[in-house]
Structures are given as C-alpha cells and as structure tokens.
A and B are shown apart, each in its own frame.
Chain A
Amino acid sequence: MTIAEPQRSHPSFPQQGWVAALRGFTRKTSPVEAGRCELCGAEILPGHQHLVEPAGRRLLCCCQACAVLFSNQAAAKYRRVPERTELLRGFHMSDLQWDALRIPIDLAFFFRSSTTQGVVGFYPSPAGATESLLSFAAWEALVADNPMLAELESDVEALLVNRLEEARGYYRVPIDRCYELVGLIRAHWQGLAGGAEVRDAIRNFFARIEEAARAPGLGSHA
C-alpha cells in the first residue's frame, strides 16, 4: 500500500468489491414470468396481456386470443386490462387533499371496484399491496377538482400517485402496471427503510411509465 500516491489510473467504485457487485447484480430479484395463458394454457411471451377478475381482484396472464375474446363480453367474469397510460398534467391535488386520503406512504393507486361499488386505495409495501380505507368524502372532493377521474374504467384502470420526496406525478394507468410496481418494491426492498435499490427501481419504473405515456402503442408491458 503506497501512502504518497494520490493519482489512480482508473475511476474508483468505493461502494463494494467487484465480486460483491457481480453477485448483487445476478441475484434473482424479479418474480418469475408466467409462460402460459391462465385461461387456455397457450404459451405466452413476455409483454403479454392481462385480465382482471374483479371478484378476487386477481390478475391473470393471458394470450392475445383470450384477451380479445373477453374484451367483447358484457357482464364479464374477467375484464381485459387496457393499455392506455397517461400522464395527468393539470391534475390537482393539494397536500391537504392527499392527507385526507390517509395513505401511510407517498405512493398509492386508486381504482373503482365493481364488487364493492366504491373506490379502493392500495399502497405498495414490502409485504405486497396493502389496502387503505378511503374516506368517501375525500375521494369525492378529489373528483370534484379532477372530473376525469369519473372516466376511469372500473377494476382495470387506476389513478397512480407518486408523491415520494419532491415528486408530484399523477398517472392514469392500467391496473397491471400498479401490481408491477408493487412487485418491484417487494422484490427490491431491503432492511427497514427500503434502501437505494428500491429507490432506483421506483425511479426506473416511473421513467418507463412516462415513456409509455409519450409513445402509446409501443409500450407493451410485462
């Protein structure tokens, strides 16, 4: 070890050794992808579509054929998840309105449930999606300021709110995107406060959402 030589020939990565970095990188972090349509068993590729079963609030992976079949039915047991992703510019939500919704963290999604005939709120946690009891009045106040919320298709579309730190992002997204976010957070969470990895995962997620919002039709998601 030389004491007197300040110059190094390469940039330094002080956080961890290269072996630790490789191990961290290859560690399996994301959930295993479904390879089969849950309705007909046909093989499906990543980027496949999803159906929602409102009764169980389940997401099912499905092939193109089943997706089309189910989107044509009226009183459906399964509902097709649309692909529309929109950044809601001009969305109004004051800090007071956010507090009134009483979500414990600054990240949540809200959708109309056909089974309960009301709006439900969920937030991601290390244990998965956690339901948060919503005040009817608080939601109605939000709809009054943002009439587009009434247009959200029940069960399959959600308002996704990102108020982490300085962010104030409001999105209209397909419900499977919300569960994708939940899955990411659960997979990357470390320790008590989450850690840098989950922060990065969340940041990348919203970058992808914004890109999908800019380029509709290109964003076929996993």
Chain B
Amino acid sequence: MNKDESQAFERELCRIQELIGALEDLADPQARERAKELLQVVLDLHGTGLARLLELVSEAEEAGQKLLNALAQDEQVRALLLLHGVHPEDLESRVRKAVDTMHPLLGTQDIQIELLSVAEDKVRLRLQGDWQGQHLTIETLRREIEEAIFEAAPDAAGIEIEDLMEPAARPREILVPVSSIPRRNKQGVSAAES
C-alpha cells in the first residue's frame, strides 16, 4: 500500500473502535444486541470461508506455502487473517518479533525492553535502563510502544508496561564522589569541582 492507502486503512481500523463505542452507548439494548448478532454472523461467515480458502492454498504445498507467506506479509490480507484468527503466527510470536524490532531503537535511549508474559491475550512488558529522557516524553514513549505492539498484534486485549517511570523519578545508581559536591568558601561563593 502507498502512504495514502495506508493512512486510509488505519483510519478505518480506528473507525471500527469508534463505532463499537457508539453502539455500546446505545440506550436501546435491543438494537445493540441485534447489531452485535448481525456482526457476529457476518464475521462467522467470512471466517469459515477464509479458513477454507487457506486450507485450499496450503494444499498446493510449496507453491501454497510461498503464497501463504506472501499473504501474511500483505498489510490488508494480514488484517483479515488476524481478524479471523487464522494468521500463521500466534499472538506471542508476533509480539516477540515486535519487541525484538524495538531493541535497537530503544537502546539508543539506553532503554531495555523485555517481554514478560502474554497471558489471556494481555501483553506485559518491562522497561529498564538509565534513561535520560532527552528525546522523548513518557507519553510519547508509551504510545510508540503500544502502537508497535498493536500493529503486530491487534488481537492483544491490553498492554501493561512495568517500570515506566518519569526520568526524574528513577533513582540514579551512580555514586557521587564526596570531592565533587560543591562547597561554599567563606565568601559564600561555591567552589565546586566535578
């Protein structure tokens, strides 16, 4: 997809969540239940068809495997596979790959990221490091990480990031030599050496 198509696609994905929110807020429970049911039935229809389609593709052996790989790489087809739970890679392995991709970039900020667990579709991560916070705010960092994870795993039901503290709050573990603490001489002028 080109950039415009990509942005339009992302907007559509957002639109799904907006519409879900709007329907959940419907005062009429009947209408909401009918909408849910219709959606579920239509999704089931697609899911069954898609699973069958993939079966047929995989029956073509080597050519089929090649095709399956290509399908999983294509952004729009991938979304379909994920939606119906027929993507060849499971949630955990996709999340792990996403975390691995983040290592070098976060490393330039002296941050280490670790995947703790993926239980019940909830992703738990830990961040560690002597973070200077020079280029990022906490919010930006969190958002970047979440977006990368949800991109790889839109079937994740939640993300928890441990140890994500403001840089000022992190206790520094470097010992400060006594000689470098500023001292004031008799005139009240500080005579620091560090």
Contact = CB atoms under 8 A, between A and B. Distances in A.
Interface of A: 1-4, 6, 8-26, 28, 30, 46-47, 200, 204, 207-208, 211, 222
Interface stretch (B24-32, B49-57, B65-73): B24-32
Contacts of A11: 14
A25 B155 contact: no
27 contacts: A1-B102, A1-B105, A1-B147, A4-B135, A6-B137, A8-B143, A9-B11, A11-B14, A15-B158, A16-B158, A17-B153, A17-B154, A17-B157, A18-B16, A18-B17, A19-B155, A20-B157, A22-B20, A22-B39, A23-B155, A25-B39, A26-B40, A26-B43, A28-B36, A28-B40, A207-B27, A208-B27
Main secondary structure on A side of the interface with B: loop
Interface of B: 7, 10-11, 13-14, 16-17, 20, 23-25, 27, 29-30, 33, 36, 39-40, 43, 82-83, 101-102, 105, 108-109, 121, 135-137, 140, 142-144, 146-148, 150, 153-159
Given A1-B101, A25-B39, A14 B33 contact: no
Contacts of A4: 135
A26 B16 contact: no
Given A13-B17, A222-B29, A25 B23 contact: yes
Contact of B14 (A2, A10, A25): A10
B137 to A, nearest CB: 8
A200 B16 contact: no
Contacts, number: 96
List the 5 closest pairs (A to B, CB-CB), nearest first. A17-B154, A19-B155, A19-B154, A26-B40, A20-B157
Contacts of A200: 24
Given A18-B154, A28-B40, 5 more contacts: A10-B11, A13-B14, A19-B154, A25-B20, A222-B29
A21 B18 CA distance: 10
A26 B83 contact: no
B102 A10 contact: no
